A = this chain, B = another copy of it.
């Protein structure tokens, strides 16, 4: 049904529409791309493409605009991810060079990605569940209050203030710290719950109430809270892209951590470049937007995801190239630190 030339026409339509933001007509196509056929022939192909639901005309006697289905076909079969230019690659390196702190890496990454793609960039913090404990620290703050600091092998630091049920001396703090570290050091975070469950038996009875409180806070920290830490940047790019309507909805979605999470995360294969186009994503209000996301991580392990959100009418090859490159580079940085 869709021969090569029709696909070429679709590709041409997508490319032209992305660059001009105006419905593209048969004559313009024949002029700008040398397809070797006349406008009339193109018109026939366009009619077929429209029957198939790949393109759509806003009104009679206007050009055609790709539908979500059209973009999907374009992304899957008609385009190649475009590698970055040398200058861009160098920009990435200088931008991320010399950063040791995780917060700083994430912050710079999200800004870099926003600048590079001219869209809104979204970066999820390296997931706790896939990393391991490097160190647990207990710092006394007051008689019945300590601060718990949890450091992971990805450089992530979680802190939490804990109110204890009883007064606890420095020596007991040291002891607890030693026990905790012995038990948890190097432990995969997903295995922490079972490890923790077995711990109280090794403690003296007097330590158990305090330990129970601390351990429950550790679990809480791991489970409830930090899976979902996400930052974004480049919202100003939204205003530039002529969003007809719904800018408000988009901004609202961006501030909903949960929504962002699902946008980035709902996929089986973490490592692949994922593209979600327009209505393919589950949120009304984001109907006019596409998400390009990729997993990143140190070495082979996938730690989290990052990506960009922009108008459906975006330059997919370039955007996908940028997202993939940044994901890889951040992975290298994390592996090296």
Contacts and interface: CB of A to CB of B under 8 A. Distances in A.
A317 B129 CA distance: 47
B141 A139 contact: no
A335 interface: no
Interface string A125-137: 0000000001101
Given A236-B251, A251-B238, A255-B235, A139 B151 contact: yes
A156 to B, nearest CB: 9
A101 interface: yes
Contacts of A161: 100-101, 155, 337
11 contacts: A100-B162, A101-B159, A101-B160, A134-B141, A141-B151, A147-B155, A157-B157, A235-B235, A236-B249, A236-B252, A247-B247
Given A100-B161, A157-B157, A139 B135 contact: yes
A233 interface: yes
A191 B306 CA distance: 40
A248 interface: yes
A268 to B, nearest CB: 31
B159 A137 contact: no
Given A135-B141, A236-B251, A239-B251, 17 more contacts: A100-B163, A101-B159, A101-B161, A134-B139, A137-B137, A137-B149, A141-B151, A149-B149, A151-B159, A157-B157, A161-B337, A233-B255, A236-B255, A238-B251, A239-B247, A239-B248, A240-B248
Interface string A211-250: 0000000000000000000000111101110000001110
A184 interface: no
A137 B134 contact: no
Number of this chain's copies in the assembly equals 2
Nearest to A337: B161
6 A-B pairs with least C-beta separation: A239-B248, A236-B251, A100-B161, A236-B252, A157-B159, A239-B247
Contacts of A159: 101, 151, 157
Interface string A10-28: 0000000000000000000
A39 to B, nearest CB: 38
A134 to B, nearest CB: 7
A123 interface: no
A254 interface: yes
A106 to B, nearest CB: 13
A135 B163 CA distance: 17
A159 B152 CA distance: 12
